[in-house]
Structure 1
Amino acid sequence: MTALTRLESRPAHEHAITVAGGVKSLYEQLLLSDNNDAQKHALAGCFLQEQLQQAAHLPEQMPRDLSTLQNWVEQHSVDVARQYADYLKQRKAGGARQFFSNKAHALFFLQAVTPTKLVDGAWLYGLLRHWRDPRFDGLLCTYLEELGEGNPAQNHVVIYRKLLAEHGLQDTAALADERYLQGAIQLALGYCADEYLPEVIGYNLGYEQLPLHLLISAYELSELGIDPLYFTLHVTIDNASTGHAHKAVQSVLQLLPVEGDRDDFLRRVALGYQLNDLGLGSRAIIESFDLDSEVLSMLERKRPFGQHMHSDYSRFEGKTVNQWLSSPEQLPGLLTALENKGWIKRHQNPKASHFWQLIDGAGAAMFGVFSPYEKQLLHDWIAGDWKSGRPVAAVRRGSSVTAQTPVPDTDPDIQHLQTALNGLSGHEQMPVLMPWLSPHRHAHPAGLLATRRFIELKSSLL
């Protein structure tokens, strides 16, 4: 069993997080704060030490015999392809989806993994300064492709942000601290890339192998009418033949010291690989979904805003809506009361429920009260075992990333960047451009422009 397979399947309670102040806070400081890189480096280094100590207790999976490394990665790819073929055979024989019980379940997953997806590739950011060294070409190529090479339609973070916006998933305030662990690890490696180069190489080797869950997720998202572009894009670029997985193997070989303690270098590479096993894996997140609990949690988040907004006209079992919303303990009773009143008809077409009619449609009395995701939770909870019998409309590949309107030169960030570059030689421009390729900036218009310029200069100056 590979480390990636274990990451997908391990229990959700494993590998407790011990970061003081919480991982979410650290994640936001590394990604969003105005601290300079030196401050972020110090913060990231302390965090990495904690995570590496935990990773050291995990079974080592990466082979130390480098002559077998490429075959090992290729065999993993073959195993995943075989398992996916078995999955497709089962589905074509009429088997049910293995991951997502309904659309709300899929949206729950997309929101839960947001902290990791919005820093895609961040572990390689700190290697940009090695752009002259051909040994780093594979790693830099991987990072620049994660950035879409400056094309917003291919930038992974831009794509995921659009996916979140399409389904009303941008509000991640309620996400548990543990959801931020892998994203924080990626950011920390990016800010400590030189000090932890072997660990960066090892983490990259593990992360860029194609996992089975990516293939199944893409298939089932498409079935549910959710654009799978973000996932299918990774299926193609993470291949073991010429893609990121292959480049990851080559980077291990090319950056292995010619002299010095090669065994220690490989030990650290293997330890970096094991960092992929910390935190919740995709399967654990998927399996943690409980529709009843999610509906109640959603209503509890909205309860403070709605407990004084309803009239006393309607009463359910002797209580007004405001009275039902006065405490979280009463929410299950409110749902039961709505069912008893006939306002909610479980396991039927939601359109038959008066409560659904109040929230769905432009003329609905509660139009806009619930986000698209919140409405999907309510829809699927009401529907229950009911099946519409109608297939979900097919999704056009790439539909979540539409043509981009050119950003005008009056954009303040673009103006700032162009002013900073003005009059500098190509070599002098490179260090000015690099901060704009950071995890926080690269998906913004000036960051996309900087990425294109960085690639152009890298090609012409070497």
Structure 2
Amino acid sequence: MTTLTPIFTSSSESCNFLQTGPACMLYERLLQPQLADGALDEARSFLDTQLEEAAGLPCDMPAQPEALLDWMRNAALSTTQAYALYLEERRQGAPRRYFANRAHALYFLRHVAPTKLVDGAWLYGLLKHWQELRLRPLLRTYLEELGDGVPAMNHVVLYKQLLAQHGCDELAELEDAHFLQGAQQLALGHLADDYLPEVIGYNLGYEQLPLHLLISSYELTELDIDPYYFQLHVTIDNASTGHAQKAVQAVWENMPLVGDRDAFYRRVINGYRLNDLGLGSTSVIAAFDLEEEVCAMLERKRDVATQVHSDYCRIEGRTVNEWLSQPGQVRSFLDALQKRGWIRRDEDPQSSRFWQLVQGDRAAMFGVFNAYEQQLLHDWIAGDWTPPRARGRSRRRPAPAAEQAGGLDDDMQALHATLRALPAKQQPAKLIELMSPASHFTPAGLLATRLFNAYLQ
């Protein structure tokens, strides 16, 4: 059996080791350059189960495909009108609707990451049919999700950078439900030949402009978190020339001329419904509880922190090691720290002795907490306290790392050599292999995307 390679976490751990849920396991099995034996059978079984569940959900799609364009544009208009009302509410002094604080926003970025890191994957399996004109709207959509091979525009590259910038790129302990949408997308992508109507329907739903995308972008900007990934989707999913328009076009151009058009369209509708399974963005946002996240984070740290603290300091009669020796004591430990004045809630965190131990190059616990974990602690301590002025974080995006450093172009040089050794008719297949969800964001995958673009000109 093929060894699973953890490719979506920043450490040696992946959901393969810490998470045993079916969606996470399938997600990782399908997010490999070479699929293991049986992976496609598992994907098919999973997808059939999801489609059966989706069939019982309500659907707002029109009964006739001819009405799709008006339906899509009316939905986009409704979204922009709702956003205008939101902006007016904010101008009148209403608080942020989604993110109570910066930690809340980073929690959102982290928990939707399994979906964002396979952006566009549902269309991958169509690349082999690049000569079929009826699939061109879908192929163009996939290549644009890949940034046409430009690192600064590749959606997965952008999201990986966003996660890394804020210490949110460790996803190992996320619950299984957060991998369900990504597993669906990967399954559709690898089985596109057998589920073309469902792929088209899923694409139609995913590429519509949702209100949460607009609001998230606005509120991330307020919190000094780079919103570019979300702003990019606002522009490319537009109802005039963007992915939403292409999605409708794809339905029309792939409706069968001979055969059961109604059956095909029913399958499109059911693929559309797949978007409503699993955890959506707004449900992820609503699930955030700052104190619960702080306690869960410290509980995870407890296993490696036991017996590493000195015994000279006692808090409420117990050493730190004693507090950390048994699970389930974190909340009581935090209460004790507050009682002793080590943590002063609803004040500037700099006033808390505990925070001074955590933050700063010379802090006693420097390096123990990553940027995301520090933000959780900071915002939990701060509570209702707000700084007298903005903290001044930079919203400038870091330059894409791909293809910059010497040595990173080895794969690209090897790809050029491989292509030169192949007959012209076999070259597209090699490029397509590197444009998979597992590798399109790598230097070789980005180059493959740029070269493949020539076939669609």
1:77 positional shift: 0.3
Aligned to 1:353: 352
1:46 positional shift: 1.1
Aligned to 2:123: 124
C-alpha distance after superposition, 1:176-196 (max 9, x if no partner): 000000000000000000100
Q: Which moved more, 1:405-414 or 1:39-48?
A: 405-414
Aligned to 1:108: 107
Q: How does 1:242-391 map to 2 (within 5 A)?
A: 242-391=241-390
1:401 positional shift: 4.1
1:403 positional shift: 7.1
**Among candidates 428, 444, 453, match of residue 446 of structure 1:** 444
Q: Distance in 1 between matches of 2:89 and 2:392?
A: 22
Aligned to 1:11: none
Q: Distance in 2 between matches of 1:29 and 1:405?
A: 27
Q: Is the 8 A contact 1:84 1:212 kept in 2?
A: yes
Tell me if 1:28 matches 2:28: yes
1:52 positional shift: 0.3
Residues 359, 168 of structure 1: CA spacing in aligned structure 2 closer, same or farther, 3 A cutoff? same
Aligned to 1:427: 425
Residues 328, 297 of structure 1: CA spacing in aligned structure 2 closer, same or farther, 3 A cutoff? same
Q: Distance in 2 between matches of 1:96 and 1:400?
A: 29
Secondary structure of the residue aligned to 2:125 is helix
Q: Which moved more, 1:58-67 or 1:84-93?
A: 58-67
Q: Which moved more, 1:47-56 or 1:403-412?
A: 403-412
1:33 positional shift: 6.8
1:63 positional shift: 1.1
Q: Distance in 1 between matches of 2:367 and 2:21?
A: 35
Secondary structure of the residue aligned to 1:329 is coil
Residues 272, 410 of structure 1: CA spacing in aligned structure 2 closer, same or farther, 3 A cutoff? closer
Unaligned runs of 5+ in 1: 1-19
Secondary structure of the residue aligned to 1:312 is coil
Aligned to 2:158: 159
Unaligned runs of 5+ in 2: 1-19
1:158 positional shift: 0.2
Q: Distance in 1 between matches of 2:109 and 2:453?
A: 31
Residues 213, 395 of structure 1: CA spacing in aligned structure 2 closer, same or farther, 3 A cutoff? farther
C-alpha distance after superposition, 1:291-320 (max 9, x if no partner): 110000000010011111100011001100
1:404 positional shift: 5.5
Which letter maps to 2:295? L
Q: Distance in 1 between matches of 2:79 and 2:398?
A: 27
Aligned to 2:236: 237
Q: Distance in 1 between matches of 2:173 and 2:101?
A: 21
Q: Distance in 1 between matches of 2:241 and 2:177?
A: 34
Secondary structure of the residue aligned to 1:120 is coil
Tell me if 1:413 matches 2:411: yes
Q: Which moved more, 1:125-134 or 1:385-394?
A: 385-394
Aligned to 2:72: 73
Aligned to 1:16: none
1:43 positional shift: 2.2
Q: Distance in 2 between matches of 1:39 and 1:452?
A: 32
1:423 positional shift: 3.3
Which letter maps to 1:389? P
Quote the RMSD (CA, aligned, Å).
1.6
Residues 329, 409 of structure 1: CA spacing in aligned structure 2 closer, same or farther, 3 A cutoff? closer
Aligned to 1:209: 208
Q: Which moved more, 1:409-418 or 1:173-182?
A: 409-418
Aligned to 1:224: 223
Which letter maps to 1:373? Y
Residues 221, 401 of structure 1: CA spacing in aligned structure 2 closer, same or farther, 3 A cutoff? farther
Aligned to 1:12: none
1:287 positional shift: 0.5
Aligned to 1:137: 136
Tell me if 1:399 matches 2:397: yes
Q: Distance in 1 between matches of 2:401 and 2:124?
A: 27
C-alpha distance after superposition, 1:29-80 (max 9, x if no partner): 01037425x7443221111001001001111321121221100000000000
1:399 positional shift: 1.3
Which letter maps to 2:352? S
TM-score by length of 1: 0.92
Secondary structure of the residue aligned to 1:328 is coil
Secondary structure of the residue aligned to 2:421 is coil
Residues 360, 303 of structure 1: CA spacing in aligned structure 2 closer, same or farther, 3 A cutoff? same
Secondary structure of the residue aligned to 1:61 is coil
Which letter maps to 1:419? A
Q: Distance in 1 between matches of 2:196 and 2:339?
A: 62
Which letter maps to 1:232? Q
Which letter maps to 1:447? G
1:101 positional shift: 0.3
Q: Which moved more, 1:264-273 or 1:42-51?
A: 42-51
The size of the alignment, in residue pairs, is: 438
Q: Percent identity?
A: 55
Q: Is the 8 A contact 2:213 2:230 kept in 1?
A: yes
Tell me if 1:178 matches 2:177: yes
C-alpha distance after superposition, 1:427-458 (max 9, x if no partner): 32101111100000000000001001111243
Q: Distance in 1 between matches of 2:30 and 2:402?
A: 29
Residues 235, 287 of structure 1: CA spacing in aligned structure 2 closer, same or farther, 3 A cutoff? same
Q: Is the 8 A contact 2:33 2:438 kept in 1?
A: no
Q: Distance in 1 between matches of 2:175 and 2:94?
A: 32
Q: Distance in 2 between matches of 1:410 and 1:343?
A: 47
Q: Flag the structure with more relative contact order, 1 or 2, with Cα contacts below 8 A and sequence separation at least 6.
A: 1
Secondary structure of the residue aligned to 1:249 is helix
Which letter maps to 2:290? L
TM-score by length of 2: 0.93
Aligned to 2:10: none
Q: Is the 8 A contact 1:100 1:286 kept in 2?
A: yes
Q: Distance in 1 between matches of 2:401 and 2:34?
A: 32
